[in-house]
Amino acid sequence: MASMPPIIVLADVSTYDWLLFLHVTGAFLLAGGAVAAGAFNVAAQIRKRPSEVAFLFRLVQICVVAIGIGSLMTLGFGLWLVDAAPWEYGYGQAWIVAAIILWFVVGAMGGAGGKRDRETRELAVRLAAGDDVPTTELRARLRDPVALFLSYGSGLAIFAILVLMVWKPGA
Assign 3-class secondary structure to the chain. CCCCCCCCCHHHCCHHHHHHHHHHHHHHHHHHHHHHHHHHHHHHHCCCCHHHHHHHHHHHHHHHHHHHHHHHHHHHHHHHHHHHCCCCCCCCCHHHHHHHHHHHHHHHHHHHHHHHHHHHHHHHHHHHHCCCCCCHHHHHHHCCHHHHHHHHHHHHHHHHHHHHHHHCCCC
Q: What is the pLDDT of residue 2?
A: 63
Q: What is the pLDDT of residue 171?
A: 75
Share of the chain above pLDDT 70, in %: 94
For 13-65, write each residue's pLDDT tens digit.
889 999 999 999 999 999 999 999 999 999 999 999 999 999 999 999 999 99
pTM of the model: 0.89
Mean pLDDT, to the nearest integer, of 78-92? 90
**What does the domain layout of the chain look like in residue ranges?**
13-167
